[in-house]
Amino acid sequence: QVQLVESGGGLVQAGGSPRLSCAASGTIFSINTMGWYRQAPGKQRELVGAITSGGSTNYADSVKGRFTISRDNAKNTVYLQMNSLKPEDTAVYYCNAEVWSAAIVRNTYWGHGTQVTVSS
């Protein structure tokens, strides 16, 4: 079993720059893609950013130039640096990871989410 634990969320002012962290633990052989998703009230969950084990990244158009995703493979941790926050960034942010626990055992895991609320 694998657990993902997010941290760094909370109430911030517009223009703030918090950093979210997500640490994976448990039975892990390797982790391929790690990413961040978000879900606002009344909306579907959407991809914010993702990063491969080799460091390739992609972002939603709404956050390009403002958010940066990175990872520390030695710590099985992914980060989301959020800059110039806007009220429309308010959402629950979820960590996601594609994990190999054995040669033929692959699963996708989700964290429980961390609330980010941006006040104007």
Q: What is the pLDDT along the chain (120 residues), one digit of tens a residue?
A: 899 999 999 999 999 999 999 999 999 999 999 999 999 999 999 999 999 999 999 999 999 999 999 999 999 999 999 999 999 999 999 999 999 998 899 999 999 999 999 999
Distance of alpha carbon 110 from alpha carbon 16, whole angstroms: 26
Distance of alpha carbon 6 from alpha carbon 99, whole angstroms: 17
